Chain A
Amino acid sequence: MTAYILRRLLVLPIMLLGVTIIVFSMMQILGPDKLLSAYVDPNKAEKLTIKELEMLKERYGLNDPLVIRYGKWIGNTLRGDLGWSQVGRAPVLDSIVSRFPYTIELAIYSVIPIIGIGIWLGVLAAVKHNSFIDQFVRIFAIVGWSFPDYVFALLIILIFYSWLGWFPPGILSVQMEQVVNSAGYNQFTKLLTLDGLLNGRLDVFWDALRHIIGPILTLSYIQWAYLLRITRSSMLEVLRKDYVRTARAKGLDEKVVINKHAKRNALIPVVTVAGQLLIGLLMGVIIVEAVFNRPGLGSFVAQSASQLDYASVMGALLFSAAIMIVGNLIIDISYAFIDPRIRLE
């Protein structure tokens, strides 16, 4: 097991390097003219002389050959300097680090209902196979899966903010922002709800929670659909296995059969899916962050890509790739613990 983990960790930098080479090359193919748009507002650019445009290209090294530009980028990266983010208006690393807590907070809060309710619904549908509940859950899943997330996010805003006024967009209300930015308030973890509790400010905690419920609802509904379908089909397969029939034949209580014999085995493939879901959430959710005005990694990457801010794109990509690779490693390792039949070596 240890050797396996070490091997995976050693491969990590090589994989990251490969990813950066591919993405860097793809962005550089666009050429200096297009990449310059990350540095100069097109409206302002109309007033620049050609001499000034050339000076800017020279300043940002956009006329340098591809290998030199990549060399410079990788050299600076190894020194911990990912460059300046035009989108974040700050160094790339700072831009990512300052946004990550918002992404973590949303991911943690979302993953609990997604996995908890998703698996419960999947198991329920399988156990009540072909019943009204099963049919209802399947329709629920199909609707959720086929619903575009931006439409659902807008519906949530319309119902829970515009009509009911319960769950506003953003991260905090104006009053609570003032509390959080006041001198006596400590931002220990940068997670708004947790810091609210640690500072003994339930009003901040509650306010932050109100602002995060809308995005959680949106993400949950979309992801439930996926997770419950996987759980349902896995559970149905297990329920047809001989050992389940044997357990029932032994006269075991149905709850024991389901929970002890069937569910544990059925959840093995679900772990992969749930793990991937969490990784996806940690890498940022673009639409939900944009609609609910949450400054997470997803909206940062989307803006950086649309503005061709390649320093930010590369930095965020490196960060996301690291999350993906480490996350997958953890999933692989967790297999061995869940199912002793699996030997990673």
Chain B
Amino acid sequence: MKKTLAVFAVLLSVVFIFGAITNPDTIVKATIGGPDTFDVHQAYDNASGEVLSNVYEPLFVFKGSSLSEFEPRLCTDIPTVANGGIKDGGKTYVFKIRKGVKFHEGGDLTPEDVEYTLERGIIASPTGGPMGMFTQYMFGNPDFKDLVAKYVGVAEYKEMFNDAAFQDLKPEYTEKLVKFYKEVVDPAVEVKGDEVYVHLQIPFGPFLTIIGGEAYWGSIIDKEWSISKGLWDGKAEGWWKYHDVQKEKSPIYNVCNGTGPFKMVEWNTTTKQVTLQRFDGYWRTPAKIKTVIIKGIDEWSTRKAMLEKGDADIITVDATYIDQIRNREKEGIKAIDNIPELGVRSISFCWSVDPKSKYIGSGKLDGEGVPPDFFSDENVRQAFSYSFDYASYIKDTVNGLGITIPTLIPQGMLGFNPNLPTYKLDVAKATQYFKRAFKGQLWLKGFKMQITYNTGNVVRQKALEQLRDNLLKINPKFKVEVVGIQWASLLDARKRSELPLFMMGWGADFPDPHNFVFTYYHSKGDQSSFYGENFINYATTPNPELDGLSLDQIVEKAGLETDTKTRVELYNKIQNFAINHALGMPVYQPIALKGMRTWIKGWYTNPQKGSDDYFYTLSKAE
């Protein structure tokens, strides 16, 4: 009997322990996957960015959840035209660098560190990395290799090298490359006293959101420490040896030395764990939490169990499982399911498909294929836009974790207008437009084509299958086959204008509508440049609906406009135009999710962060 009582007492104690704050000065975040690299100019993923934005600091950040207000970090003032920080019609930005800031390894922050950081980032410019945003506006070319090749006068960057790793430069190009640094890169960033001057070739209002805000690629590194680790030595001679180095070969691949509130003390790639320790020499008041542990735990049940026991304070939640942690505040658990991601998912049309494409059947309007210019007909685009059930897709396929968007500017972004009309499934209107298309021939003869998604992406597959089924219901002669292909092949086929219709996503590189409007509606956009020749003609032709400007011109004008009110008006005009002419099908804006213990205090997020956390403001209390 005594034994039974003892066992009962132990069990009771376990129950009572449940609920008490676990590890009060440590925050454990259980997430999926892990960081890719800690090289601030190579990292271009959320897991790496989360660590970097807690360990390093940019010149300034967004103020709280705002995407339009900034607060200084390593500079003392946010540059504006009024305070003289933005000069030469928006081509020069001046940053006064803060004094008394220490790096974790003991170095003092100087304006030279800022100059070195920016120049090193430009020189490093890794393939597929974030630095193209800088080179685009600082030098007018997002492709650094292309920029150098054009300066030197060769067709391709690789022509100058004897090896594929671009290390062994042919001697005849040495002088030209040294000159390139001295004439192009070096003058772009200058130090004058306590100030750093950044010169742009193209004036660009949102430049501040590229260099600061939530941009971890804007993190400032210590020049002396970096050189001692083997990063670019700061010299013009031999800079190319430091360009586009393989990720894992970067000397700061797995080490950090920032000025931020936490030091990175361990990245254990075996246990998939990153440990951050409070930096007591931080220039602001040190963080309340002493240790942050970010664990990669791929198994959902384990993450959930850890949250329930309090061994994890914050966890990543997949949309499928969010219901398992909803409405459990009494148990000390809360679900955060209202963080709009700055991204969109959309279906795009190719206006001029390659006639040889295997995805358009016969390539003719004979019921066995579609003509290459199928989507150049506005009636077809309108009909397709009315053939998709956006609401049920968001409710059923993405578990309600998506926002309906009228155009491809996501919610939270300047210019987003919830009052704009949105397309809905409307069989009558779709039928009406299909009957008008190709002078009625499309309705009579029907069509056949293949539409594609990247294999493994079930959410996209389901969207296209819904579209296929709806089209078949509208007219049994509308035969669409949904085909999954590997993403690399899909990108390749899209580039060659072989895909008549494709579904893709876009996440904000920087939180400005230009990043979306240019991408989707300008003839040279990352997505719209694949719409084909007919779209290019359409986008470059002046249009009375756009005050006599072409679509390209008004998109460019809105990007350069510095007056917010005027910008919003211009974006409204562009969006109305996009809706009226069905330039694409904005399917939804995703919502980021996470689970958290209610004892976490001081949490906030910024839409640009997605599911990343800033641990400086956090503490644990009942």
Near B by CB (< 8 A), chain A positions 51-86 give 51-53, 55-56, 58-59, 84
Nearest chain B CB to A278's CB is how many angstroms away?
A: 23
B residues 453-470 near A (Cβ < 8 Å) are 454, 457
Q: Does B489 contact A (CB under 8 A)?
A: yes
Q: Are the CB atoms of A157 and B302 closer together than 8 Å?
A: yes
A55 contacts B127, CB within 8 Å?
A: yes
Q: Mark A98-120, 1 if CB is under 8 A from B, else 0.
A: 11001000000000000000000
B325 to chain A, nearest CB (A): 13
Docked Cα-Cα span, A181 to B506, in Å, equals: 41
A64: min CB distance to chain B, Å: 11
Assembled-state Cα–Cα distance A285/B11 (Å): 31
Closest to B26 in A: A174
Contact between chains at A44 and B128 (CB < 8 Å) = yes
Enumerate A285-311 residues with CB–CB distance to B below 8 Å. 290-293, 295, 303
261-279 of chain B: CB within 8 A of chain A: 266, 269-272, 275
A242 within 8 A of B: no
Contacts of A290 in B (CB 8 A): 298-299
Complex Cα distance, B504 from A43, in Å, reads 9
Expressed in whole angstroms, the minimum distance between the Cβ of B495 and any Cβ of chain A is 5
Complex contact A169–B305 (CB within 8 A)? yes
User: Are the CB atoms of B454 and A47 closer together than 8 Å?
Assistant: no
- Report if A29 contacts B (CB, 8 A): no
| Highest count of chain A CB atoms <10 Å: which of B299, B305, B306 | B299
Contact B164 A58 (CB under 8 A): yes
Partner of A174, one of B14, B28, B269, B487: B28
Residues on B with beta carbons closer than 8 Å to the beta carbon of A157: 301-302, 305
The answer to whether A162 touches B44, judged by C-beta atoms less than 8 angstroms apart, is no
A53 with B23: in contact, given A165-B17, A165-B18 (CB under 8 Å)?
no
0/1 string, B525-547, CB within 8 A of A gives 1: 01000000000000000000000
A106→B170 CA distance, assembly (Å): 55
User: Is there an interface contact between A99 and B491, defined as CB atoms closer than 8 Å?
Assistant: no
- Say how far B103's CB is from chain A's closest CB, in angstroms: 22
Choose, from A11-19, A33-41, A266-274, the stretch at the interface: A33-41
Q: Which residue of B lies closest to A164 (CB)?
A: B14
Q: Flag whether A90 is at the interface (Cβ < 8 A).
A: yes
Given contacts A33-B486, A48-B491, A295-B272, contact A181 B302 (CB under 8 A): no
Q: Please name all residues of chain B whose beta carbon is closer than 8 Å to the beta carbon of A52 when the two chains form the complex.
A: 127-128
Interfacial chain A residues near B45, Cβ < 8 Å: 41, 44
| Number of A-B pairs, beta carbon distance below 8 Å | 124
CA distance A192 to B504 in the complex (A): 46
Contacts of A146 in B (CB 8 A): none
Q: A84 CA to B526 CA in the complex, in Å?
A: 31
Q: Are A293 and B14 in contact (CB under 8 A)?
A: no
| B-side interface residues, number (CB < 8 Å) | 53
Contacts of B35 on A, CB cut-off 8 Å? 89
CA of A56 to CA of B246, assembled, Å: 10
Interface core residue of B28, B34, B311 (most chain A CB under 10 Å): B311
Expressed in whole angstroms, the Cα–Cα distance for A169 and B300 within the complex equals: 12
**Quick check: B487 and A37 within 8 Å, CB to CB?**
yes
User: Is B11 a contact partner of A164 (Cβ separation < 8 A)?
Assistant: yes
Q: Cβ of B36: which chain A residues have Cβ within 8 Å of it?
A: 41, 89
Is the CB–CB distance between B23 and A175 below 8 Å? yes
A324 at the interface (CB under 8 A from B): no
> Separation in Å of the B63 CB from the closest CB of chain A?
28
Q: Mark B172-209, 1 if CB is under 8 A from A, else 0.
A: 00000000000000000000000000000000000000
Q: Report whether B486 and A161 are in contact in the complex, using a CB–CB cutoff of 8 Å.
A: no
What residues on A are CB-neighbors of B23 within 8 Å?
A: 174-175
Q: Which of A33, A95, A173, A177 contacts B489 (CB 8 A)?
A: A33
Q: Which residues of A contact B272 (CB under 8 A)?
A: 295
Say how far B245's CB is from chain A's closest CB, in angstroms: 11
- Docked Cα-Cα span, A90 to B270, in Å, equals 9
Chain B residues with CB below 8 A from A170, complex form: 295
- When C-beta atoms are compared, the residue in chain B nearest to A54 turns out to be B492
Q: Are A53 and B492 in contact (CB under 8 A)?
A: yes
For chain B, residues 16 to 60, give those with C-beta under 8 angstroms from any C-beta of chain A: 17-18, 23, 26, 28, 34-36, 44-45
| A45 interfacial by beta-carbon distance below 8 Å | yes
Cβ of B246: which chain A residues have Cβ within 8 Å of it? 59
B487 pairs with A46, CB closer than 8 A: yes
Distance in angstroms between the alpha carbons of A186 and B305 in the assembled complex = 31
A48 to B17, CA, bound (A): 51
Question: What residues on A are CB-neighbors of B17 within 8 Å?
Answer: 165
Complex-state Cα separation, A58 to B166, whole angstroms: 12
- Does residue B484 face the partner (Cβ distance < 8 Å to A)? no
Name which residue of chain A comes closest to B13, CB basis.
Answer: A165
**Pairwise interchain contact A89-B297, C-beta atoms closer than 8 A:** no
Task: Known contacts A40-B128, A41-B45; decide if A293 and B299 are in contact (CB<8 Å).
Answer: yes
Interface status of A154 (Cβ within 8 A of chain B):
yes
Q: Is B489 a contact of A293 with CB atoms below 8 Å?
A: no
A50 at the interface (CB under 8 A from B): yes
Contact of A295 among B26, B271, B305 (CB under 8 A): B271
Complex: chain B residue closest to A171, CB-CB: B271
Query: Considering the chains assembled together, what is the distance between the CA atoms of A173 and B26 in angstroms?
Result: 12
Q: Which of A34, A173, A181, A293 has the most CB of B within 10 A?
A: A293
A42 at the interface (CB under 8 A from B): yes
Q: Say whether A88 faces chain B, with CB atoms less than 8 Å apart.
A: yes
Which residues from B are CB-within-8-Å of A164? Answer: 11, 14
In this assembly, does A158 line the interface, its C-beta being within 8 Å of a C-beta of chain B? yes
Q: Is the CB of A295 within 8 A of B44?
A: no
Contact A165 B14, CB 8 Å, known A45-B488, A52-B127, A158-B305: yes
Q: Are A46 and B491 in contact (CB under 8 A)?
A: yes
Query: Is A284 close to B, CB under 8 A?
Result: no
Decide yes or no: A181 and B293 within 8 Å by CB, A44-B128, A84-B248 being known contacts: no
Q: Point out the residues of chain A lying under 8 angstroms from B81, CB to CB.
A: none
Least CB separation from A56: chain B residue: B127
* Residues of B contacting A144 in the complex (Cβ-Cβ under 8 angstroms): none
Check A50/B495 contact, CB under 8 A, given A37-B488, A165-B18.
yes
The contact of B487 among A45, A102, A161, by CB within 8 Å, is A45
Cα-based distance from A343 to B52 in the complex (angstroms): 63
* 24 intermolecular pairs with C-beta atoms under 8 Å apart: A33-B486, A33-B492, A36-B488, A45-B128, A46-B504, A48-B127, A48-B128, A50-B495, A52-B128, A56-B128, A89-B34, A90-B269, A154-B301, A165-B17, A165-B18, A169-B302, A169-B306, A174-B23, A174-B293, A177-B293, A181-B266, A293-B299, A295-B271, A295-B272
A164-B11, A169-B297, A291-B301 are known; give 17 further A-B pairs, CB within 8 A. Answer: A32-B488, A33-B492, A36-B488, A41-B36, A44-B44, A44-B45, A46-B506, A50-B492, A50-B495, A157-B301, A161-B305, A162-B305, A169-B306, A174-B28, A174-B291, A291-B299, A292-B302
| Ranked 3 nearest A-B pairs via Cβ | A33-B488, A89-B269, A98-B270
Residues of A at under 8 Å CB distance from B? 32-34, 36-37, 40-53, 55-56, 58-59, 84, 88-90, 95, 98-99, 102, 154, 157-158, 161-162, 164-166, 168-171, 173-175, 177-178, 181, 290-293, 295, 303
